[in-house]
Chains A and B, each alone.
Chain A
Amino acid sequence: MEYIDPHLHMVSRTTDDYETLARMGCVAISEPAFWAGFDRGSVDSFRDYFRQLTDFEPKRAAQYGISHYTWLCINAKEAENVTLSREVIAMIPEFLDAKNVLGIGEIGLNKNTRNEATIFLEHLDLAVKYNQQILIHTPHLEDKYQGTRMILDMLMGDSRINRSRVLVDHVEEHTIEHVLENGFWAGMTLYPVSKCTPQRAADMIERYGPERLMANSAGDWGPSKPTAIPDLIMEMKKRGHSKELIRRVVYENPKTFFSQSKPFVHG
């Protein structure tokens, strides 16, 4: 089945992964800017990263017939460095006209600190000023609930934000309702260990329905599985769900969401 992975960090994956993804039916990827595993030292380091995301990575994906889209920001972990964050935010507009940029992301919170919240709000200003869509990272484990509520407070406290153009990622059982009932899109992230499994994601689809709901692998340089979406497809097939429902979650929904920014073309 054709599918889209709306959150996958291909800069940290091999070309062999692109081949596997293509064989599994992946036709498009969106890659939010994130933490490299170490804190970068300067704005130029981010400039090079954004060149990689907007120039090199789409070419690598295209060799396997996969469309590559991206989102730009300084991630929540490095947002602790407010001075560097402001330099990066000031530089981002250099790249906003690139063909594959869908918006600002993945912005959010990590440890739910004051500096992270300050930089999150400054990213919102940037997104509004340039009419960009937003992709949001919610914190993990014990920080997720508090951080997700804080993020929703900041989004809903800003009347300029169009909720149907915001995707809140890494939702789980205790945060999904808050995100969906307030009109945002929600992404469930499938991890091999410690977080949401394909089974629990299928449960959430059964419980909340497919409206504004999608799934991603958030594959990166850590333990993660870039082919997690085919696992979800398998789980849903095993449970007897229709092709239409599965396709809605893994293909139509990301397509509909992305299309608010750039017309979706693949192949």
Chain B
Amino acid sequence: MHERTAAQIIADEFLIARAKILELAATLDRLDRADGDIENSKQLVLLSQGMQILCDSESDKAKRVQLLMSRQYEPEWIEKMAIRRRDVEGS
């Protein structure tokens, strides 16, 4: 599979990424200017944790932001919800 080099990607995408950072920056400024206190807002915490993922040195950033913004999966959900599964093997 053809893969672009890092130099090609930065050349192709610098302006796009720059514009996205500016959008985020302006959103934060808008929040700053507005009346009201959202210090304890869960959404604000998620945004700032998301931005930390962008700045850390680990890879897999898109997946990690997705997981950060996701409800937890519990492997025991079937028992907890008391779902009656059809007895496939036994029937």
A binding-site residues for B, Cβ under 8 Å: 112, 114, 117-118, 121, 125, 141-146, 149-150, 153, 157-160, 172-174, 200, 203, 206, 209, 238-242, 245
What CA separation (Å) do A160 and B91 show in the bound complex?
12
B19-62 contacts to A, CB under 8 A, are 62
Question: Do the beta carbons of A114 and B62 come within 8 Å of each other?
Answer: no
**Given contact pairs A118-B83, A159-B89, A206-B3, A153 touches B70 in the complex (Cβ within 8 A):** no
* List of A residues within 8 angstroms of B2 by Cβ: 239-242, 245
* B69 on interface, CB distance cutoff 8 Å: yes
Question: Do the beta carbons of B4 and A149 come within 8 Å of each other?
Answer: no
* List of B residues within 8 angstroms of A143 by Cβ: 71
* List of B residues within 8 angstroms of A245 by Cβ: 1-2
Taking the closest CB of chain A, its distance from the CB of B41, in whole angstroms, is 15
Give the nearest-CB partner of B3 in chain A: A206
Give the nearest-CB partner of B16 in chain A: A199
* List of A residues within 8 angstroms of B82 by Cβ: 114
Question: What is the number of residues of chain B that contact chain A, defined by CB distance less than 8 Å?
Answer: 25
**Given contact pairs A160-B88, A173-B63, A241 touches B70 in the complex (Cβ within 8 A):** no
Contacts A114-B83, A206-B1 known; 15 new A-B pairs at CB < 8 A: A114-B82, A117-B81, A121-B86, A142-B69, A142-B70, A142-B71, A143-B71, A145-B66, A146-B72, A146-B73, A150-B73, A157-B78, A157-B85, A174-B63, A174-B66
Give the nearest-CB partner of B9 in chain A: A239
Question: Do the beta carbons of B83 and A158 come within 8 Å of each other?
Answer: no
What CA separation (Å) do A114 and B77 show in the bound complex?
10
CB-defined A-B contacts under 8 Å, sample of 27? A114-B81, A114-B82, A114-B83, A121-B83, A141-B69, A142-B69, A142-B70, A142-B71, A145-B66, A145-B67, A146-B71, A146-B73, A146-B74, A149-B73, A150-B73, A150-B77, A153-B75, A153-B78, A157-B78, A157-B88, A158-B86, A159-B88, A160-B88, A172-B66, A174-B63, A206-B3, A239-B4
What CA separation (Å) do A117 and B85 show in the bound complex?
10
B binding-site residues for A, Cβ under 8 Å: 1-4, 12, 62-63, 66-67, 69-75, 77-78, 81-83, 85-86, 88-89
* List of A residues within 8 angstroms of B83 by Cβ: 114, 117-118, 121
What CA separation (Å) do A209 and B2 show in the bound complex?
11
Taking the closest CB of chain B, its distance from the CB of A16, in whole angstroms, is 31
- Pairs A-B, 8 closest by C-beta atoms: A174-B66, A145-B70, A149-B73, A173-B63, A173-B62, A146-B71, A146-B73, A114-B81
What CA separation (Å) do A172 and B65 show in the bound complex?
11
Question: Do the beta carbons of B1 and A209 come within 8 Å of each other?
Answer: yes
**Given contact pairs A200-B62, A241-B1, A174 touches B67 in the complex (Cβ within 8 A):** yes
What CA separation (Å) do A149 and B77 show in the bound complex?
10
* List of B residues within 8 angstroms of A114 by Cβ: 81-83
What CA separation (Å) do A224 and B20 show in the bound complex?
21
* List of A residues within 8 angstroms of B69 by Cβ: 141-142
**Given contact pairs A174-B63, A206-B3, A239-B2, A146 touches B70 in the complex (Cβ within 8 A):** yes
